[in-house]
Structure 1
Amino acid sequence: MLSLIQIILLVLNVAQFIILAHIILSWLINFQVLSLNSPVVGSIWDGLNRLLEPAYSRIRQFMPDLGGIDLAPLIALLIIYGLRIILINNIGMFV
């Protein structure tokens, strides 16, 4: 059972990394450090959007409209951190 908890924590770490990469890439694109006209940047951006949009859209259903501010990535990270805390603090129950 401990191996299952470790696999879940690994998946949460990968999801956290992907969300942080998406956030940083969006900042670099918005501040015109990177251009979506570049094929590599465009394909990475498109892939990250396709991967994360289903999760973000579910989070956005419960959030009020804040205009141009999108807090869905922040809420997704908070959910991941919360799940990690719950799993780590209750790992004794599974051993």
Structure 2
Amino acid sequence: MNAIFLLILAILDLYKLVLIITIVMSWLFTFGVINRYNQVVDAVWNVCTALTEPVLRPIRNILPSMGGLDLSPLVVFFAILFLQNFIRYDLMPALT
């Protein structure tokens, strides 16, 4: 049973990494450091947005507009941290 929880925790860690990559790439696009004409950059961007947009879009619809500031990745990041701590400190000890 612990192996399943550890797998879930690892997947959540990977999703946090993809979320951070998406945030940093969007900043780099905004400031003109990288562009999407590069095939590698475009491929990484497409994979990251395909993984994060289904989760971020409903949160963007709920959160009020902050004048160009997108807080949905922050909400998802904190939700993942909460879920990981719940699994690690509450669920795993209760089931072992």
The two structures share one fold, judged by TM-score above 0.5: yes
| Distance (whole Å) between structure 2 residues aligned to residue 39 and residue 2 of structure 1 | 40
| Distance (whole Å) between structure 2 residues aligned to residue 94 and residue 3 of structure 1 | 12
| Distance (whole Å) between structure 2 residues aligned to residue 66 and residue 47 of structure 1 | 26
Shift of 1:67: 2.6
Aligned to 2:94: 93
Aligned to 1:70: 70
| Distance (whole Å) between structure 1 residues aligned to residue 39 and residue 11 of structure 2 | 28
Unpaired stretches in structure 1, ≥5 consecutive residues: none
Aligned to 1:53: 53
Shift of 1:22: 0.8
Q: SS state of the match for residue 34, structure 1?
A: coil
| Distance (whole Å) between structure 1 residues aligned to residue 2 and residue 78 of structure 2 | 24
Shift of 1:61: 2.4
| Distance (whole Å) between structure 1 residues aligned to residue 2 and residue 39 of structure 2 | 42
Q: SS state of the match for residue 64, structure 1?
A: coil
Aligned to 1:3: 3
Aligned to 2:19: 19
Q: Name the amino acid aligned to 1:66.
A: M
| Distance (whole Å) between structure 2 residues aligned to residue 26 and residue 7 of structure 1 | 29
Q: Name the amino acid aligned to 1:93.
A: A
TM-score normalised over the length of structure 2: 0.90
Shift of 1:18: 0.6
